[in-house]
Structure 1
């Protein structure tokens, strides 16, 4: 077998994390020859030759005793890579990223790539502009736990000749990994607030219009998503021309101002579970019945109680607790809508669900206003409460990003995360849907066509459409209440079983007696007892609702575990047990809260059945 065929077989074997793009990476460097054990390459961009030395300088900067995520930039120097892997922890994960086609081609043709036969070593070879999509897919899994200990290693050509490119790569990894970690949640209490409201609000699903009946119902009808960014003040007056000629979807923050200006949107989106979302946007406010609320079951129940118009309650795509909820409701895949992490994300996902095309974004600045101040359009509640009322460091103006008109604009960590989601989703839908950014300010959103709002309206919004009449005629969900009650009882029984398992294991580790010295035999026996925690972990992983609520704690637990050296000692065993006890205490809180809410919902639905 030729070497290249052998290497290709390794790289493209099934069930491996390698991501190889053989079509879209342009030619860049070309191998010329070997001189004095140094490889000579020609750089087509710089029109110069350079030499590459395949050896590690100094001692490998990896830990033998801690599990790590090691990101290696450059595949050409296989000796360097092999040395790093050989000296690191066998349970670490080694990701090699190669952005240059010439290096990848040379290695495939001339070097033995057996190192990539290992399950914990993977190669990513995609253009730099696609890297963030690959990182997001790879690490939206339990691999994110390894980011407790993360190291970057630049191979010889990248640390010697290609430092600016290396910096861009490191920044791409850092941004996406931080965003994924943030997306797992900060607190079980945040997750529980959402899950208990999802369960409680099942009763409002009975009065929801059936989102499945609206899928592609507005195919090729233009939609305008109105967000509350500061640039909206420039072009909001043009929206009057689009009323009745486009689907207008408002985010909750801008709804009141639109209504005040005589612009009645067809839909308003809400996604936040917190009390302030109700108090700022809905409490004591009456909106025209022609406005339809689009929101998952996670929001405060008072919003449903007080809202005047119709509402639509889709399930949230890609989130475990909604897959669990679908197990109870049996709605199927057409009830799921992509919602991301904001009301504007939900608006985009819902517009795509409707089949709208093009989808026009306005007020979607994702950046502060001119001079780095002001984060919302005038006439919103944020004029009264300030730009960052919760003093969240994620919302501080600490970042810069490419602007709509070029140059740099001031943004925040939170908006960068929102921007990333927009770009992922726009990439996902680009074959069917044209997304136009008519914000006329703020940050540039990759994948969109930039166009002034007035031009977009004149070009696309020409035909009359009565959205309200179509929504009115859409039937509501049809559920079997008895069936839902029985399924909730079954789910409660499963959670009770996990609770019993936790109680038994907690008693076992509470009864552990530590030796007075480093008695290896006793320590090994304790480790064997601790391994029974794996059964609990599997039970959590296998239950969608439990896993969703325990995600923040799982991340924190593995972060703590991976900070402990994998060396058998009394101190390390005690540290491991302390981490396990913290995990069990948190899991009990989650189990008790879910059992209690399921009980309440069963009781409430049973009363309704009695009526």
Structure 2
């Protein structure tokens, strides 16, 4: 094994241990490579690549260095914090990019692992591998690359991305590169929906949390139901118009499948005389309470997270099951304070139907069957008959579509017909597709008999699914009741309530203390803004100290930061983009400090809200 390869592998082990293992193994195999090392006329290494019917040199056969410099000179990254480059080659162009744009993120995507293997054996690229501003993605799967982009955006590491490719890759990988950009856009839209939801509902979520927290004393934790229904079918009922087709088939399934009502489908089911075992609530808006305030039965288990609108949660007198999701990070903190060990997060997804799918999997159900899952508006209808919100939603859809609002998109349903949908509905579909790919140990079936196709979930008429999978009988309600009773035999409601009130007191005491620090920090930054040219070393030291004290307390870590991070990151990204266009140093500082003021104000407002809610 050559010294160059060993140096590169050692560097990979530091930053990309998985890649290091893959290429260390690959390097020991005896195979005819599709990549041949050649020399350009100026003596620099070059690669000759065979890809299908194409054979091409990655770099100039005369002078790869000059080619790389000229390629880089054509790139303008104003307004972008990241460049994604197709093709790693010998790395000359990446080195030139780093020289010209040292502060920009570089994501290098190589779809041919043979090219990267040849590079590891040809040049010492440890300086590129270990560079914090350079990320290598070696995959031929465009979705895998797209997921990396989503992860980086979710973590706030990248924002705006420019795409560029080696000229030699342009023709060979034209379709592949186009598909990657489409996947990037799809993942970027999913991120934007998550961001918008977080920013829009932040205050609502906090209100619902504190208003609903005492309900934990009267709720079982979902961890008590993990795998409780192993290999029992589950039917997740959504409220789409397709539910009109086969809702009647559910009447005889109460003892043959776990029936889970997702959101507003509960009212539709009850209007048809059908009682599900579980109804799931997660949405924070007041409309969610209108749904659950109209529930007639008190035998249904209300599975909820504390983001759900508090009024419907408080008013429901039946049994409740609490769960925490991966969206709101205070779940672990609450569990710890309540003395609950070993509880896992459920995956929230883009809608209550996505979350209901994870509940069914967590409880061990198999197969998992979707019905009423249109993901579209056939005949401009929002819900099946009997939904509480149907009339107003249908009217809104018709008005918007007739006005040609771009919010609505045309897609093909399972029959090839054009139907209207939205980006948010497509994100639900995309989440389903990702979910069943990851959790492939279950059988997933779509018995909706209408709506958009969901890749990975077979469309089968519900009556055929029932005949094939829903034949055995189970005491599902008895199993739910038994676990619920065991939970309450272990501790009294009054003890739990006392514990929750103690938690709220501690939150209020801590929020009252750091509220004053947050206000002081704003006063200091305002003083600095009023005299940009002055010496403010002492003020900055105070700001640093206050920031440390604020960010090291539980209130900030588990409540403020998770709810404010997208808004704060958006401010940072916007400021960084526009700073490039401001040449005057004083104006740049003013613009930067105004951004800090906006961030500090956001944090202060969340702390004040927590203080008021915990006191109430």
Q: Give the TM-score category using the shorter length.
A: 0.7 to 0.9
Matches within 5 A, 1:217-232: 217-232=228-243
1:543 aligns with 2:557: yes
Residue in 1 that maps onto 2:324: 315
Picking from 73, 89, 95, the partner of 1:59 is 73
Structure-2 change in CA distance of 1:594 and 1:494 (3 Å): same
Q: CA offsets, 1:29-64, max 9 Å, x none? A: 9224637556432222xx232333254436152548
Q: Distance in 1 between matches of 2:235 and 2:94?
A: 50
Q: Distance in 2 between matches of 1:19 and 1:548?
A: 34
Structure-2 change in CA distance of 1:407 and 1:524 (3 Å): farther
Cα offset, 1:579, TM superposition: 1.5
Q: Is the 8 A contact 1:287 1:308 kept in 2?
A: no
1:50 aligns with 2:56: yes
Picking from 227, 231, 238, the partner of 2:249 is 238
Structure-2 change in CA distance of 1:513 and 1:272 (3 Å): closer
Across the aligned residues of Structure 1 and Structure 2, the Cα RMSD in angstroms comes to 3.5
Residue in 2 that maps onto 1:467: 476
Picking from 360, 377, 390, the partner of 2:384 is 377
Q: CA offsets, 1:287-326, max 9 Å, x none? A: 2233221111222232134335322121223521323332
Give the total of aligned pairs: 582
Structure-2 change in CA distance of 1:507 and 1:472 (3 Å): same
1:137 aligns with 2:151: yes
Secondary structure of the residue aligned to 1:325 is helix
Secondary structure of the residue aligned to 1:152 is strand
Q: Is the 8 A contact 2:77 2:162 kept in 1?
A: no
Structure-2 change in CA distance of 1:7 and 1:72 (3 Å): same
Residue in 2 that maps onto 1:604: none
Matches within 5 A, 1:339-418: 339-369=348-378, 373-387=380-394, 389=396, 398-399=408-409, 404=414, 410-418=420-428
Residue in 2 that maps onto 1:555: 569
Structure-2 change in CA distance of 1:17 and 1:303 (3 Å): farther
1:125 aligns with 2:138: yes
Q: Is the 8 A contact 1:402 1:443 kept in 2?
A: yes
TM-score (norm 2): 0.84
Q: CA offsets, 1:439-487, max 9 Å, x none? A: 3333332333443322222121111122222222223454544443333
Q: Is the 8 A contact 2:511 2:608 kept in 1?
A: no
Q: CA offsets, 1:210-261, max 9 Å, x none? A: 3222111111111011112233333334334533211111112222222222
Q: Is the 8 A contact 1:224 1:249 kept in 2?
A: yes
Q: CA offsets, 1:168-194, max 9 Å, x none? A: 111212221332243134565621211
1:502 aligns with 2:515: no
Q: Is the 8 A contact 2:86 2:164 kept in 1?
A: yes
Cα offset, 1:538, TM superposition: 4.0
Q: Is the 8 A contact 1:29 1:41 kept in 2?
A: no
Residue in 2 that maps onto 1:110: 122
Q: Which protein has greater RCO, CA pairs closer than 8 Å, 6+ apart? A: 1
Structure-2 change in CA distance of 1:533 and 1:110 (3 Å): farther
Residue in 1 that maps onto 2:507: 491
Cα offset, 1:274, TM superposition: 0.6
Stretches of structure 2 that go unaligned for 5 or more consecutive residues are none
Structure-2 change in CA distance of 1:408 and 1:35 (3 Å): farther
Q: CA offsets, 1:319-356, max 9 Å, x none? A: 21323332332323326433323211221121112111
1:254 aligns with 2:257: no
Cα offset, 1:275, TM superposition: 0.6
Q: Is the 8 A contact 1:18 1:124 kept in 2?
A: no
Structure-2 change in CA distance of 1:597 and 1:523 (3 Å): closer
Matches within 5 A, 1:583-602: 583-600=599-616
Stretches of structure 1 that go unaligned for 5 or more consecutive residues are 601-611
Q: CA offsets, 1:389-436, max 9 Å, x none? A: 49999x9654456754679865321012222322333233223x2222
Q: Distance in 2 between matches of 1:302 and 1:410?
A: 33
Q: Distance in 2 between matches of 1:392 and 1:466?
A: 46
Secondary structure of the residue aligned to 1:250 is strand
TM-score (norm 1): 0.84
Cα offset, 1:67, TM superposition: 7.3
